Structures are given as structure tokens and as C-alpha cells.
């Protein structure tokens, strides 16, 4: 028997329209387009029988989850700090152009495949240590046959996919995650292994 996992990125936030760096400390709401994306994704997910819905505490994730939950009103729901986006430290709120100008050495390290932290922020490895133990706990505690939905953030999803697929931390940034993308996988308890069904599918 298997535990089924759905990882959904939140809808488009106003930070994307403003061209600013967001992360864990900058709580930015969805745009009208982001809410439409969430609605269409919710319509797709309505066919699923869910046993638990998890999200981060960020408004862009909770608002996306709220729209999706309209189709699953009786499903238990929990907001968890551990699922918040990768922190970008002092860079949060800066324009992306200003970040590139102020921290060219960080950009250079990322381009060289180094899992560097922005000042006061997190690396992908840091996010892994925050998220993976919680994820393992949820899977271990779930009954085989259950389906868990996570409405979270692009970099958190990249870290979890990297964890499942054994992708090095410094390569997680190469995993594409569009707004409201759906990723489906399952853990086979009898074989003690993960199976990935699809990554970054769009239904809006």
C-alpha cells in the first residue's frame, strides 16, 4: 500500500508583479491572477479524496489553500511554520535588480552551483533540514492509502523533490515550479521507496 502526496505551489503573488524578492519574512498576498490559478487548480483537485491538507503560514499559501479547500470542506487542515518559504534574509523586499547589483557574489556562487545563503537567509540545505524531518513524520504516521496535500512554496517543493529523487542541494534550483503547479508522488511502504508520477503540471 502507498501514501499519496500532492505538492502544490501557491498562486502568483503581488511580489511577482512588483519584481521584488520575497521569501519567508515578506508576507505578500495573491494577485487576481493568482486567485484564478488557485480556483482552476482547486477544480482539478476536487476529484481527489484527500485525508489531510497542510500549508505554510504565509498568506499567499493560506489564500491558495483556502480556495482549494472549498472543494474539500471536511478535510482536516493545518498551517505549519516549518513549511514556510526559503528565507532570503536582508534581501527580502528588494527589487531583483537591486539584489543583483548589491550581491553579485551570491549570484556568481549560485551560477557556479554553490548552495549559498543570502545574508541572514537560508540555503537549500538549510530548508531541507527544516522540512524533510516533518515530511518524513507525516508519511510515517499516515495510513497506507491516504492522500496528503501540501499547498506550499516553490523552493520548499524543490527541496522535497530533491530529497525524494536524491538531487544534490546545489541542483534543486533547476527544478521548474510554476505558480499553482501540481506535483504527484507516492511512498510505497512495502518496498520502502518513492515513486514520482509527475512534476510541475499546470491545470489553469
Query: Computed from CA positions of residues 110, 113, 117, 122, in that sequence, does the dihedral angle turn out positive or negative?
Result: positive
Average pLDDT taken over every residue of the chain: 95
Average pLDDT over residues 25-35: 93
Average pLDDT over residues 37-42: 98
DSSP string, 65-96: HHHHHTT-TTS-EEE-GGGSPPP-GGGTTSBH
**Does pLDDT of 133 surpass 90?**
yes
**In the prediction, which pLDDT does 106 show?**
86
**In the prediction, which pLDDT does 126 show?**
98
pTM for this predicted structure:
0.96
- If pLDDT is split at 50, 70 and 90, which confidence band does 107 have? confident
d(CA 52, CA 155): 22
**In the prediction, which pLDDT does 102 show?**
85
pLDDT tens digits, residue range 60-74? 999 999 999 999 999
pLDDT tens digits, residue range 138-168? 999 999 899 999 999 999 999 999 999 999 9
The CA distances from residue 46 to 39, 96, 139, 149, 172, in Å, are 10, 36, 22, 12, 30
d(CA 129, CA 125): 6
d(CA 189, CA 1): 6
**In the prediction, which pLDDT does 71 show?**
98
- If pLDDT is split at 50, 70 and 90, which confidence band does 25 have? confident
Q: Are 73 and 46 in contact (CB under 8 A)?
A: no
Domain ranges of the chain: 2-201
Q: Which CATH architecture has domain 2-201?
A: 3-Layer(aba) Sandwich (3.40)
Closest CA to 129 of 141, 117, 140, 119: 117
Instruction: Burial-class residue 84 by CB neighbours within 10 Å (0-12, 13-18, 19+).
Output: buried
Average pLDDT over residues 134-140: 97
Residues near 78 by beta carbon (within 8 Å), at least 6 away in sequence: 52, 53, 54, 55
**In the prediction, which pLDDT does 68 show?**
98
Residues assigned a catalytic role: 10, 85
**In the prediction, which pLDDT does 117 show?**
92
The neighbour count for residue 166, using CB atoms within 10 Å, is 7
Give exposure, 44-56, as e/b (b: 16+ Cβ within 10 Å): bbeeeebbbbbbb
**Does pLDDT of 43 surpass 90?**
yes
Q: Above pLDDT 90, what percent of the chain?
A: 80
Average pLDDT over residues 98-104: 87
Q: Walk across the sheet containing 193-201 and list its strands.
A: 77-79, 52-55, 147-152, 2-9, 182-188, 193-201
- If pLDDT is split at 50, 70 and 90, which confidence band does 111 have? confident
**3-state class (DSSP) for residue 135:** helix
Adjacent-strand bridge partners of 196: 185
Amino acid at each position: 500500500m502507498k501514501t499519496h502526496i500532492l505538492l502544490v505551489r501557491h498562486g502568483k503573488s503581488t511580489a511577482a508583479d512588483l519584481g521584488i524578492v520575497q521569501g519567508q519574512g515578506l508576507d505578500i498576498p495573491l494577485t487576481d491572477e493568482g486567485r484564478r490559478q488557485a480556483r482552476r487548480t482547486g477544480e482539478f483537485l476536487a476529484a481527489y479524496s484527500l485525508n489531510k491538507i497542510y500549508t505554510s503560514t504565509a498568506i499567499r499559501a493560506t489564500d491558495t489553500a483556502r480556495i482549494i479547500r472549498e472543494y474539500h470542506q471536511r478535510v482536516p487542515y493545518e498551517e505549519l511554520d516549518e513549511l514556510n518559504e526559503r528565507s532570503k534574509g536582508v534581501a527580502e523586499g528588494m527589487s531583483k535588480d537591486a539584489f543583483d547589483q548589491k550581491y553579485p557574489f551570491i549570484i556568481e556562487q549560485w551560477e557556479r552551483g554553490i548552495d549559498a545563503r543570502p545574508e541572514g537567509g537560508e540555503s537549500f540545505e538549510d530548508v531541507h533540514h527544516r522540512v524533510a524531518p516533518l515530511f518524513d513524520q507525516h508519511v510515517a504516521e499516515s495510513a497506507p492509502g491516504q492522500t496528503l496535500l501540501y499547498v506550499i512554496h516553490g523552493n520548499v517543493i524543490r527541496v522535497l523533490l530533491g530529497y525524494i529523487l536524491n538531487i544534490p542541494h546545489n541542483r534543486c534550483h533547476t527544478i521548474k515550479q510554476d505558480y499553482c503547479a501540481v506535483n504527484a508522488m507516492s511512498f510505497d511502504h512495502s518496498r520502502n521507496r518513492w515513486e514520482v508520477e509527475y512534476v510541475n503540471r499546470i491545470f489553469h
